[in-house]
Chains A and B, each alone.
Chain A
Amino acid sequence: MTQHVNEEDVATTGDHDVSPAQDSLERPAPSPRLTGAIVAGFAALAVGVSVLGGDLLNPPASTTDGDYSGETVEMMIPLAEGGGTDTWARFVGAELTEAVPGSPGLAPVNDDGGEGILGTNHFMTSAKSDGTEVLVSTASTVVPYLLELPAVHYDFTELRPILANGTGAVVYARTGAGVRGVEDLVDRDKPLVFGGIAATSLDLTTLLAFDLLSADVEATFGFEGRGPVNLALQRGEVDIDYQTTSFYGPAVEPLVEDGTAVPLFSLGQVDEAGEIVRDPNFPDLPTVVEVYEQLHGEQPDPQVLDTYRAILALTYTYQKALWVPEDTPDEAVELLRSTAEDMGADPKFQKSAAEVLGGYPIDASADLAERIGEAYRVDEDVREDVLELLETDYDITID
Chain B
Amino acid sequence: MTDAAFSALASLADPSLLLMLAIGVLAGLVIGLIPGLGGTGAVAILLPVTFGMDPEPALAMLIGALAVVHTSDTVAAVLLGAPGSASASVTMLDGYAMARQGQAKRALSLAFLSSMAGGLIGAVGLTLAIPLARPLVLSFGSPELFMLTVLGVSLAAVLSRGNVVKGLTAGFLGLLLGLVGTSPTTAEERFSFGSLFLSDGLSLVAVALGVFGLAEIASRVGQRRVAEKPVELTGGWASGIREWLTHWTQVIRGSLIGIWAGILPGVGATAGTWLAYGQAVATAKDKRKFGKGDPRGIVGPESANNSVEAGDLIPTFLFGIPGGVPSAMLLGMLLTYGIQPGPAIVTDHLDLMYLIVWAFAIASIAGAFLCFLATGSLAKLTRVPFAVLGPGLLVVMLLGAFQESGQLGDLWVMVALGVAGFFLKATGMPRAPFLIGFVLAIPMERYYYLTASLYDGAEWMARPGVLAFAALLVVPVLWSLIKRLRGASGAADDGHRDEHENVAAAGDELEGSLAGTPWSAAVAVVAVFLFGGALWVSGSFSEEARLMPRLVAVCGLVAALVLTWQEARVNRRRAGRDAVKDAREPAGGSGATMLATRVEPRVDTPALTRHHDLVIAARTFAAMAAFLVLVMVGGYAAATLVFTPVFLLYAARTRPRTAIIYTLVLGLVLLSLPSLLPVDLPLGALQ
Which A residues have a C-beta under 8 Å from some C-beta of B? 1-2, 4-6, 8-10, 12-13, 15, 17-18, 20-25, 27-30, 34-35, 38-39, 42-43, 45-47, 49-51, 53-54, 80-84, 86-87, 90-91, 94, 106, 108-109, 111-115, 117-118, 151, 193, 198-201, 220-225, 227-228, 230-232, 234-235, 237-238, 246-247, 249-251, 254, 352, 354-356, 395-396
Contact = CB atoms under 8 A, between A and B. Distances in A.
B405 A8 contact: no
A20 B341 contact: no
A114 B638 contact: no
A12 B102 CA distance: 13
Interface in B388-436: 388, 405-407
A279 to B, nearest CB: 18
A395 B542 CA distance: 9
B642 A254 contact: no
A250 B196 contact: no
Nearest to A255: B343
Interface of B: 40, 43-44, 47-48, 51, 101-103, 106, 137-138, 141-142, 182, 184-187, 196-197, 199-200, 224-226, 229-235, 265-266, 289, 292-293, 319-322, 325-333, 335-345, 383-385, 387-388, 405-407, 446, 449-450, 453-454, 506-507, 542, 598, 634-635, 637-639, 641-642, 644-646, 649-650, 652-656, 658-660, 663, 667, 671, 680, 684, 686-687
A82 B332 contact: yes
B642 A251 contact: no
A87 B232 contact: no
A352 to B, nearest CB: 8
In this complex, which of A28, A45, A46 has the most chain B Cβ atoms within 10 angstroms of its Cβ?
A: A46
A87 B332 contact: yes
A46 B637 contact: yes
Given A82-B328, A113-B407, A227-B319, A43 B102 contact: no
Nearest to A113: B200
Contacts of B320: 227, 247, 250-251
B186 A46 contact: no
28 contacts: A1-B289, A4-B101, A5-B229, A10-B102, A13-B230, A15-B230, A18-B385, A21-B385, A21-B388, A24-B654, A34-B656, A42-B663, A46-B638, A49-B638, A80-B328, A94-B51, A113-B197, A113-B200, A199-B187, A222-B446, A228-B266, A235-B138, A238-B454, A249-B342, A250-B341, A250-B342, A395-B542, A396-B186
Contacts of B325: 80-82
A51 B684 CA distance: 11
Contacts of A91: 336
A103 to B, nearest CB: 13
B138 A234 contact: yes
A126 to B, nearest CB: 10
A237 B197 contact: no
A5 B101 contact: yes
A230 B319 contact: yes
A24 B225 contact: yes
Contacts of A18: 225-226, 383-385
A356 B333 CA distance: 10
B179 to A, nearest CB: 14
B342 A43 contact: no
Nearest to B322: A82
A249 to B, nearest CB: 6
A223 B328 contact: no
B336 A39 contact: no
Contacts of A8: 234
B321 A118 contact: no
Contact of A81 (B226, B328, B687): B328
Contacts of B330: 82
A228 B652 CA distance: 52
A87 B336 contact: yes
Contacts of A118: 196-197, 200
Given A27-B653, A46-B634, A250-B320, A9 B196 contact: no
Nearest to A153: B196
In this complex, which of B40, B234, B343, B650 has the most chain A Cβ atoms within 10 angstroms of its Cβ?
A: B234
A234 B134 CA distance: 10
In this complex, which of B43, B642, B684 has the most chain A Cβ atoms within 10 angstroms of its Cβ?
A: B642
A91 B336 CA distance: 7
B343 A250 contact: yes
A50 B103 contact: no
A90 B102 contact: no
Nearest to A251: B342
B655 A249 contact: no
Contact of A254 (B106, B185, B342): B342
A355 B200 CA distance: 31
Contacts of B336: 87, 90-91, 355-356
A1 to B, nearest CB: 6
Nearest to A17: B383
Contact of A235 (B141, B326, B337, B506): B141
B109 to A, nearest CB: 12
A232 B653 contact: no
B319 A20 contact: no
Contact of A22 (B225, B639, B641): B225
Contacts of A198: 186-187
B588 to A, nearest CB: 14
Contacts of B684: 50
Given A1-B101, A35-B646, A82-B332, A50 B638 contact: yes
B199 A114 contact: yes
Nearest to B181: A114
Given A25-B598, A39-B642, A51-B687, A86 B332 contact: yes
Nearest to A83: B328
A345 to B, nearest CB: 20
Contacts of B40: 81
B634 A50 contact: yes
A98 to B, nearest CB: 9
Given A24-B652, A87-B335, A249-B340, A38 B659 contact: yes
Contact of B138 (A2, A109, A231): A231
A253 to B, nearest CB: 8
B225 A6 contact: no
Contact of B656 (A23, A38, A115, A223): A38
In this complex, which of A43, A223, A249 has the most chain B Cβ atoms within 10 angstroms of its Cβ?
A: A223
Contacts of B329: 81-82, 86
A251 B646 CA distance: 58
B671 A49 contact: yes
3 pairs of A and B residues whose beta carbons are closest in the complex: A250-B342, A82-B328, A87-B332
A237 B186 contact: no
A9 B233 contact: yes
Contacts of B659: 38
Given A1-B507, A90-B47, A24 B224 contact: yes
Given A42-B663, A247-B340, A251-B319, 17 more contacts: A4-B103, A12-B234, A18-B383, A28-B653, A35-B656, A38-B659, A42-B641, A42-B644, A82-B327, A86-B329, A109-B406, A113-B200, A220-B453, A222-B449, A231-B138, A238-B454, A250-B342
Contacts of B337: 355
A13 B376 CA distance: 13
Contacts of B102: 5, 9-10
B687 A54 contact: yes
A237 B339 CA distance: 29
Given A21-B224, A29-B653, A39-B642, A355 B598 contact: no
B384 A237 contact: no
Nearest to B231: A13
A81 B44 contact: yes
B637 A49 contact: yes
A45 B634 CA distance: 12
Given A46-B641, A46-B642, A13 B232 contact: yes
A96 to B, nearest CB: 12
Contacts of B182: 115
Nearest to A106: B48
Nearest to B330: A82
